[in-house]
Structure 1
Amino acid sequence: MSGWLSKFRSPRTRRAYAGDLLIWQRWCAARGVDPLRARRVQVDLYLADLLDGGAAPTSAGRRLSALSSFYRFLLDQDDLDITRTNPAAAVRRPAVDAQHSPTLGLTREEAVALLDTVDRDRGPQRRRNAAVLRLLLHNALRVDELLGADLTDLGRHPGREDVHDTLTIRRKGGRRARIALAEATVEALLHYLEHRAAAAGCGRHELTGPLFASRTGRRLTPKAAWVLVRRTARDAGIASWAKLSPHSLRHTAITLALDAGAPLRDVQDFAGHRDARTTRRYDRAREDLDRSPTYALSEWLARRPSYVPESS
């Protein structure tokens, strides 16, 4: 399995696909099915069980994609004694609403409460936690983009009107992207790094390694980020705290950026989406009839001179 997973650059994809394959193997074991000799009918039954068990169409579709990718990999290995077909290849994927994102996000008021709560925290990692949540919420980062950043990725870059504090991250597919940091985010980062440097007995610019480190100096883990988001949301009195994740803050950031009036094109770049249709899924106001272009168009036409036919 390690050879198959090594094909994927994203640690998040590798973790998700490894978990998907484990679920499939357990399903097969419970029914006496050899995964290396599975047939399409068994994958069809597996899909039905996923959906009947409450899996979202997007999750079920991803698990089928993982299986199909795994079997394609096996078919490329000449020394494997398996049926020479991909049992997941022809299975119809569940329909997914392209205009809907299943991720649970926060309202503007809940987002403010989350930041207020982390700022009031008096725990030993409060400075780091405040910086982590601001980067997730202010920059719509994926958790792997955040936790994969190093101290050397911080920088400054000139703009047309000002010099921007920046962080260079690795997007999906390995793309490198330079993102701007808000003043409040920079302030939280500086407080964290100055305290970290003091604890290490060195200057801030002498620090090395990951941008966010654990108490032992190792890179902060996705599990720690999940725990941080849920614990802070619980302390903030957010009712949905147990269903939140770091990706919920990414969802929130994209949605609120659109609500704040940022142009769709800019929010697409902000989120690192290749397709604007993906970004559109986060626009909660897209069905708001108050925004219908019919009003602007009709008013614009009403200001035009009346049409006078040319005389013959």
Structure 2
Amino acid sequence: MRLPDAPTRHRPALPAGPAAEFTEAWLRNRRLSEHTRGAYQRDVADWLAWCAGHELDPLRTTFLHVNEFARTLEATLAARTGKPLTPATVGRKLSAVSSWYDFLVKLGAVDANPVAGADRPRIDRDHSNTVGLTPAEVDALLAAAEAATGPTAARNLAVIALLADLGLRVGELISLDVTDLGAERGHRSIRFVGKGGKARRRALTPGTAYTLDAYLSQRAASRGGPVHQLTGPLLVTATGARLDRHSVFRLVRRLAREAGIAAWARLSPHSLRHSFATTARAEGVPLEDVQDAMGHADPRTTRRYDRDRYNLDRDPAYAIWAARSRRRG
């Protein structure tokens, strides 16, 4: 049964050009990382293709059409895993389409956002499908990178060190440029654009700073010049191109396999980000400091990354009891 179109009234036409060009205009209006921008572009393209396949005008859809699209997504098998798309993936795709419609509403091209009334999937914010690493496994991964030899060994160690010690997103990592390195108030630091287009800065640990210095010195020596003349991407391939996320995924899994980590085939750069949050909290770093370091707007997101949050050793009852004992003693 064909669902009814939304009621219409006279509306201004969309900007001239194909839908892809209009989507680009929407994306330029958002502060997004390159990775997020690409994902949103694909998500909206999927929606437009679904509308075309159902002979629907995207400007005349209702929440009923969005619900039908969502059910289609839930039945779609992911190319990488062969399993149905997760609720989080479906939710992200609908969020992208919703943002697209919000833009159309502001332009006056549609009366309302049809995604607003749609039935979005329930997402468990206390759970993440990402496989984390224990501190010992992170140590083993770093040891495997340190033991490696070859022309890319120094760069690979720098990649793992940045992921392990700073908990960077892979998109943030590969977007770094040499000029993002600096020093502030006695700290070696690095600046980058985080999620949402927000400018951020992080301190480099002495170990990570040393690793980066060694890598850049080797890179400069191979070019026959000093380090201060290096420009462009911080992490490059053998040909000088910017390292891409697929190479980082492969690197993490290869080193994890060499390190004897059982779950190596299911790891990703994000595994190190989860480990960063869990280890920081286990070492007593306040939640708000971990939240700021990871660039999370909502502390609930940070807590989801903290895999050790249900450890009874951290039950606040112990702290209250110990404080009471000190007062009585």
Query: What TM-score range do you get, normalising by the shorter chain?
Result: 0.7 to 0.9
Counterpart of 1:96 (choices 117, 123, 140) is: 123
Distance 2:86 2:319 in 1: 39
In the TM superposition, residue 107 of structure 1 has moved relative to its aligned partner by 1.9
Find the counterpart in structure 2 of residue 310 from structure 1. none
Cα distance in structure 1, aligned partners of 2:210 and 2:238 = 21
Aligned partner of residue 280 in structure 1, secondary structure: helix
Corresponding residue for residue 15 of structure 2: none
Alignment-derived partner of residue 277 in structure 2: 254
Tell me the distance in 2 between the aligned counterparts of 1:299 and 1:181.
35
Letter in 1 for 2:286: P
Q: 1:250, CA displacement in angstroms?
A: 1.4
What's 2:320 paired with? 297
Matched, 1:23 2:50: no
- For residue 202 of structure 1, the aligned residue among 202, 225, 230 is 225
Give the superposition deviation at 1:109.
2.5
Residue equivalent to 1:127: 154
**CA distance 1:262–1:300, change in 2 (3 Å):** closer
Q: 2:251 aligns with which of 228, 248, 268?
A: 228
1:49 aligns with 2:67: no
The alignment status of 1:143 with 2:166, answered yes or no, reads no
> Counterpart of 2:188 in 1: which secondary structure?
strand
CA distance in 2, matches of 1:226, 1:95: 28
CA spacing shift, 1:85–1:156, aligned 2, 3 Å:
closer
Unaligned runs of 5+ in 1: 307-312
Q: Does 1:110 align with 2:110?
A: no
| Matched residue, 1:216 | 239
- Structure 2 residue identity aligned to 1:70: W
Matches of 2:135 and 2:165 in 1, distance apart? 12
Q: Quote the residue 2:204 is aligned against.
A: 181
Q: 1:61 to 1:138 in 2, by over 3 A?
A: same
TM-superposed deviation, 1:130: 0.8
**Cα distance change of structure 1 residues 238 and 26 upon mapping to structure 2, 3 Å threshold:** farther
CA RMSD of aligned residues (A): 2.6
Q: What's the secondary structure of 1:178's corresponding residue?
A: strand
In the alignment, structure 2 segments of 5+ residues that lack a partner are 1-22, 77-83
Decide whether aligned partners of structure 1 residues 199 and 99 sit closer, same or farther in structure 2, where only a CA change above 3 A counts. Answer: same
Given that residues 149 and 211 in structure 1 are in contact (C-alpha distance below 8 angstroms), is that contact kept between their aligned partners in structure 2?
Answer: yes
Secondary structure of 2:191's aligned partner: strand
Q: Which residue of 2 aligns with 1:63?
A: 93
Say how many residue pairs are matched: 299
- How much does 1:92 deviate? 2.8
In structure 1, the residue matched to 2:182 is 155
Taking the aligned partners of 1:148 and 1:125, their CA distance within structure 2 comes to: 18
Letter in 1 for 2:158: A
Matched-pair contact (CA < 8 Å) for 1:259–1:284: no
Identity %: 46
Q: Which amino acid aligns with 2:247?
A: A
The Cα shift of 1:202 comes to 0.3
- Return the alpha-carbon distance in structure 1 between the equivalents of residues 276 and 235 of structure 2: 20
Per-residue CA distance 1:91-135 (angstroms, 9 max, x = gap)? 132222233333222222221222122222223211111101110
Structure 1 position 288 matched with structure 2 position 311: yes
Aligned AA for 1:107? T
For the 8 Å contact 2:192–2:199, the answer to whether it is kept is: yes
Change (3 A) 1:27 1:106: farther
Measured after TM superposition, the shift of residue 84 of structure 1 is 5.1
Which of 202, 221, 243 is 2:266 aligned to? 243
Question: Higher mean Cα deviation, 297-306 or 256-265?
Answer: 297-306
C-alpha separation between the residues in 1 aligned to 2:328 and 2:253? 59
TM-score by length of 2: 0.80
1:14 aligned residue: 37
Report the residue type matching 2:101 in the other structure: Y
1:269-288 → structure 2 map (5 Å cutoff): 269-288=292-311
TM value normalised by structure 1 = 0.84
What's the offset of the Cα at 1:76?
4.8
8 Å CA contact 1:104–1:248 kept in 2: the answer is yes
Asked whether the 8 Å contact 2:178–2:234 carries over to 1, the reply is yes
Q: CA deviation at 1:139?
A: 0.3
